[in-house]
Structure 1
Amino acid sequence: MREETRAARQDQIEQAAYAVLEEKGYAATSMLAIAKRARASNETLYNWYGDKTGLFRALVMRNADTVRSLLEDSLASGAPPLETLRVLGPQLLTLLISPRAVQLNRAAAADPTGELGAVIAERGRESVAPLIGEVLVRAKAEGLIEFEEVGDAIGLYLDLLVGDLQIRRVIGRQPPLDEAAIAARAERALQRFLRLSRQ
């Protein structure tokens, strides 16, 4: 199968997975139901993703790809750490409150097995946070910020950026933010983080 054809089929399968997830919840979502919705063979899904956990792991990874790539590219190129944080903030916040992220988190909250929540943690925060940590360590090395424990610094930055916004989106108490509101919140979070990290 040609690469572009496979990419298009994967996109159809993943859209179908979100649709079935919304209708049935994670526990009741099956590979067969997703295959039928995508008009794909069950065998194709198992060949490409392994199992349901593998498919949803791929969804979470794809959801976080832009942010992870930005951090990896910035670290590889030696980009100024504060500029990396300035660009990262809006993209990370957009990711975390996106309709797909909200849908995945709602499904994880309703999943009695805890399986989807584990996948989200593994492929979401647990893969992105260490990269944020590397950016913060570079900022510290350049004398731009100060902290004792990198984990505390990561937590402070994410708390300022996200706070309870994601959970309020998940429970339906926060309407979507537009691009300007996201950019403004991300810049405020960065400035507060810098003030607190220079005290």
Structure 2
Amino acid sequence: MAARGHGRGRPRVGEQAARREAALDAALGELLERGVAGLTMQGVATRAGSSKESLYAWFGNRQGLLAALIERQAEQVNAAVATAIERPADPRVTLTAIARNLLTLLVGDVSVVLNRAAMTSPELAESVLRHGRHTTGPMVAAFLERLADEGLLSIGPAEEAFQLLYGLIVRDLQIRVLLGEPAPGEAQIRDDAETAVERFLTLTR
């Protein structure tokens, strides 16, 4: 007897994951176009070619959908930072790559709209901190501590060193963009990252 095909049965795990990712892409598109107030489960379902029932099954509710977007965005950034740290390179090159990643994230359209969403909800704000600052910070702090152990930096507590680096990178730029100022372009981000790292190394060598 010939083996049966899958027919109209339940989608495979990989298909489910792809549909969920497509729903997140659709949600991000809706969020960028309509803002937090204009984001609806029906709008996302229509844009994704899915159903509201599927969205509720995957994310629970609109709040869960936003939390999933925040987590996905943070995972992408943390992966980029981890790659920069793990790749053998001169510390200046690695720190500059980290600085560019952070700046590009923090002033980008996606980050701005998600941070504005987080400002409306303590739960979303906690998610931004947990998956963002409280994950990225220790990663970079551990790298700075490693550089110090190798005699390449002279720092006190690694977390304080990260706060110094972060302050030199971000300054007041993120808050200005959140308040409506135009975000800097790629060339300006590159220059700002290089300047921040140069100042940090001057202070820690």
TM-score by length of 1: 0.82
Q: What is the number of equivalent residue pairs in this alignment?
A: 194
Q: Deviations over 1:40-78 (max 9, x none)?
A: 222322333344444323212322333311333355556
Q: Deviations over 1:107-145 (max 9, x none)?
A: 222x1x422211111111111111111111111111111
Question: Are 2:69 and 1:62 equivalent residues in the alignment?
Answer: no
| AA in 2 matched with 1:180 | A
| AA in 1 matched with 2:186 | E
- Which has the greater radius of gyration? 2
> For residues 163 and 13 of structure 1, do their structure 2 counterparts lie closer, same or farther at Cα, with a shift above 3 Å needed?
same
Q: Could you say which residue in structure 2 is the equivalent of 1:147?
A: 155
| AA in 2 matched with 1:196 | L
Q: Could you say which residue in structure 1 is the equivalent of 2:200?
A: 193
Q: How does 1:1-199 map to 2 (within 5 A)?
A: 1=11, 6=16, 9-21=19-31, 23=34, 25=36, 29=39, 31-76=41-86, 80-109=90-119, 111=120, 113-173=121-181, 175-198=182-205
**How far apart are the structure 2 equivalents of 1:136 and 1:115?**
31
**Structure 1 stretches of 4+ moved >6 Å:** none
* Distance apart, 1:162 and its partner CA: 0.5
* Distance apart, 1:36 and its partner CA: 4.1
Q: Could you say which residue in structure 1 is the equivalent of 2:5?
A: none
CA contact (8 A) 2:75 2:131 kept: no
Q: Deviations over 1:80-103 (max 9, x none)?
A: 544321221112210111101111
Q: Deviations over 1:23-47 (max 9, x none)?
A: 3636x85545533443322232233
CA contact (8 A) 2:144 2:161 kept: yes
> For residues 84 and 4 of structure 1, do their structure 2 counterparts lie closer, same or farther at Cα, with a shift above 3 Å needed?
farther
CA contact (8 A) 2:71 2:127 kept: no
Long gaps (5+) in structure 1: none
